[in-house]
Structure formats: C-alpha cells, structure tokens
Structure 1
Amino acid sequence: MGDIVVAKPKEGGGSSSTIKCPMLTTTNYTVWAIRIKLLLKVHKVWDAIENDSDVREKNDMATALIFQSIPEALVLQVSDLDTAKKVWDSIKSRYMGADRVREARLQTLIPEFERLKMKDNDTIDDFVGKLAEISSKSTALGENIEEYKLVKKFLSSLPRKKFIHIVASLEQVLDLKTTTFEDIIGRLNAYEDRVKEEEEAEETQSKLMLANNESQPTSNSYNQGYNNYRGRGRGGHYYNRERG
C-alpha cells in the first residue's frame, strides 16, 4: 500500500497527515476506484475528472495522486496524457473494458443478483457483504442498483424459517420504499443477536438437564445396592438366630 500525503496541513500547524491508499492491481479496480475518488474529493480536485476542469493546479494534483497509486508500468503508459480526466478514463477503460464488455459483465451480474439467497449458516453480515459486492460491481459498470431494490432483495432472500416473523413485522411497520438499507441491516443484526442469545440459553439449559438426568441413575443404583445389602444382612442375622 502506498502512502499519499494530504496536501493541506492540520489546523493549528503541525505536519501533514498521511492517507493509506491501495495500489491498483489486476483484481481490485472497483475498490481502488472508490477510494481514489474519495481521496480526490478530500483534496477538492475530483471536479478535474468529473467535469474535465482545465484548471492546471487541480489537474496536476489529481494526476499526481493517481500516479502514486498505480504500478510503474501503467504510469509509463499514461504519462503522455495531458489531463487528469484522460488518465482516469484510460485506466478505467483498461480495467473495465470497452462498452460491449461492460454490458456483458452487467448481463452476468443481474442474474447473479436475482439468484442470490442467504444460506442457513450465513450471518446477516455475510449476506450483506455479498449483496454489497454485487452492488459495487454494478455501480462501477455504470448501473446503480436502487436502494429500495436492495432492501426488497435483502428481505426476500432471508431464510423464512428463521426470519419470517421479523420480516413480516418490518413490512407492516415500515415503508420499504423509503427505508434505508442501513436501517434494515441494523434491525436484522439486532434480531439475529437476540435469537443467538436465546439459542445459547436454551443450549445451556439442555446441557444442565442432561447432566442431571445422567447423574440420577447413578444415585438410584447406589441406594438400591445399599438397601439390598441391608436386607441381606438382616436376613442372615435372623437366620443365624433361628438356627441358634
């Protein structure tokens, strides 16, 4: 990971802060683009790419930040481009492919999104991560998945046996068209934690009952043996007296 130094010093003086930014690889373009975009916004130079600004200082700053987070071989390939937008678009086209390739990728993502279901052994966070990954890929390809669609897909993909009651409650009390995805995730996480606590309590209770049941026969066997011993002892005693 490269260290990108923030241009503006901290308030009140002091040295500049450092932001960790991932180096672009053949497999992390989507995440890389998200982080670099945020970094450019922090430095107030994102409009050099978004609006193709011709302000020299902004172009130079944006280009410099991008160059610090791409491999040397790629720097050599795009170094002749004279604006930050051209550099950005060139990198994007290399990693995202042409329009036809991008459209083909979208066509594979849509069925993947529709088929996605939460497995019984998945946690809420596991499943949310899968949804978010597909959503991020789709956004990078130029197709935003609307938030209400994420909410609807999320609730409809949960295992019914485990979550049917909370889903039914949310559908009754919330307007799912305006409810944020983060709000739904928070509610389901809280419900999952509560269910987990109850399951752990039931498991502990079952173990205690099992332990008590296993110890009970041992005690009865001991008492039975002791009573038999006493009975045999008394019988032997009287028998000896009668013989005497």
Structure 2
Amino acid sequence: MADIKDDPVTTKEGGPPAVKFPMLTSSNYTVWSMKMKIALKVSEVWEVIDPGTKDEKKNNMAIAYLFQSVPEALVLQIERVREARLQTLMAEFDRTKMKDGDTIDVFVGKLSEITSKAAALGEIIDEPKLVKKFLKSLPRKRYIQIVASIEQMLDLKTTSFEDIVGRLKVYEERISEEEEDDAGDDQTKLMYADSENYGGYGKRRGRGGRTPWRGRGRGR
C-alpha cells in the first residue's frame, strides 16, 4: 500500500477530503506537477490553471496553494521568472496586428492564445481592453467603415468581445462575397474584350496592312 505521505489527497473520517500539497524540490518537478494537478482539482481550483478563469477568489486560492508547495528559497526566483515572461507576453500583445492575409478567426485565435498564457501567469486581460486592442489592430483599408460604425453605435466598455467578433465576421463574409462578385465581373469583361479583339482582327489588318492571307491581284 502506498505511503499516505506521498498521496496528495487523504480522507478524514466522517469529513471532507483533506488535501495535502506536495513540496517542490530541485529534482522532483515531474512528479510534483502530477500531484499538484490532482490536489488542485480536488480543491476545485484547477480551472485557474487550465483553461484559466477570471474568478478572483479561485485565483487567490490557487496562488495560496502553490505558495504552500514551493520552498521560500524558490519563491522569489519563480516570481522573477514569472514577471519576465509576463512582460514579454504583454509586449507581444501590444505589437500583434492582423495581417492582410489573415481572417478574423485566425487573428482572434492569436489574441486568445496570448490572453490564455497571460491568465496562466496571473494576469487577466479584461474584456474592454481586449475589444479596444482587437478593433485597433484590424487593417484600416478593409475594416475602417465597420470599425467606425461600431465605435459610434456601441459602448465598447460594456459590449462583449464575442459580440464584436461576431459583427466583424458577418462583415468579413459580406465583403468577401462582394469581392468575389467583382472579380467575376472583371473576368467577364476581359473575356468580352478578348472576343472583340479577335473578331475585328481581319478588319483592322485588312486596310493597307499585311494579313495572314493573300487576295487576288498581284502575282504570287
């Protein structure tokens, strides 16, 4: 039977389970992370780690549990690493922009990945900031009209990010259809022009110019 000291979850007789958090060392990270995952799930705060949550109470509880599992000598070192990673991540968030070839879904995926990583490091990017970043980072030439309309009609402090994304996707689909129709019209015009040029070839070349055939009159 396994030693109860190595089990992250023990049970009190007649009461709720008592969670024992493992202590991190310089050589047991793999086993420590597995035990911590179980302990945090039992404590109902694992969602703070994956996929991330804005619940401040659960965030604080998870941080408290993690501090219990890390020796004092490593706490400051871990905090410095966390701050450095978070600073790099937020710099990436600031410079991320939607490329001309990207779709709304692709760009939203990039922003969502950054916000998830930030949440895992304890930094929650609130929705108004995310909405503002999203609208500011769209290619102006393609989306300036819809962005201007959204900014005039909606309160960006209270409108959800999901709502903004939905409006932009509808607009994207509409202008894509219009561009496809315009491309089809241009192709039709080009084909018509080619047929006109081909049909009038003999007439234009027949007056005083050389033609691909010889008529009667002069000797061969």
* Short-chain TM bin: 0.5 to 0.7
Note closer, same or farther for the CA distance 1:176–1:55 as it changes in structure 2 (3 Å cut): same
2:124 counterpart of 1:169: no
CA distance in 2, matches of 1:79, 1:182: 34
2:112 aligns with one of 127, 132, 135: 132
CA distance in 1, matches of 2:39, 2:108: 34
Alignment correspondent of 1:160 = 140
Aligned residue for 2:125, secondary structure, equals: coil
Question: What are the residue-to-residue correspondences of 1:22-171 with 2, within 5 Å?
Answer: 55-56=16-17, 74-75=30-31, 77=32, 84-85=39-40, 98-171=78-151
Length-normalised TM-score, structure 1: 0.57
Q: CA deviation at 1:85?
A: 3.7
CA distance in 2, matches of 1:128, 1:224: 57
Aligned residue for 2:200, secondary structure, equals: helix
Note closer, same or farther for the CA distance 1:141–1:226 as it changes in structure 2 (3 Å cut): same
Q: CA deviation at 1:78?
A: 6.3
Runs of at least 4 residues of structure 1 off by over 3 A?
77-81, 85-90, 222-229
Note closer, same or farther for the CA distance 1:86–1:181 as it changes in structure 2 (3 Å cut): closer
Aligned residue for 1:145, secondary structure, equals: coil
Residue ranges of structure 1 left out of the alignment (5+ in a row): 1-47, 49-53, 61-72, 237-244
Alignment correspondent of 1:194 = 174
Q: Which amino acid aligns with 1:218?
A: Y
Alignment correspondent of 1:208 = 188
CA distance in 2, matches of 1:162, 1:84: 49
Note closer, same or farther for the CA distance 1:158–1:207 as it changes in structure 2 (3 Å cut): same
- RMSD of aligned residue pairs (Cα, Å): 3.4
Aligned-pair identity in percent equals 52
Aligned residue for 1:98, secondary structure, equals: helix
Note closer, same or farther for the CA distance 1:182–1:227 as it changes in structure 2 (3 Å cut): same
Question: What are the residue-to-residue correspondences of 1:10-25 with 2, within 5 Å?
Answer: none
2:136 counterpart of 1:181: no
Greater relative CO, 1 or 2 (CA 8 Å, sep 6+): 2
CA distance in 2, matches of 1:218, 1:119: 42
> Which deviates further from its counterpart, 172-181 or 97-106?
97-106
Number of residues paired by the alignment?
A: 161
List per-residue Cα deviations over 1:162-183 (Å, max 9, x = no partner). 1111000001110000000000
Length-normalised TM-score, structure 2: 0.63
Note closer, same or farther for the CA distance 1:147–1:215 as it changes in structure 2 (3 Å cut): same
Note closer, same or farther for the CA distance 1:108–1:213 as it changes in structure 2 (3 Å cut): same
Residue ranges of structure 2 left out of the alignment (5+ in a row): 1-8, 10-14, 21-28, 47-64, 71-76
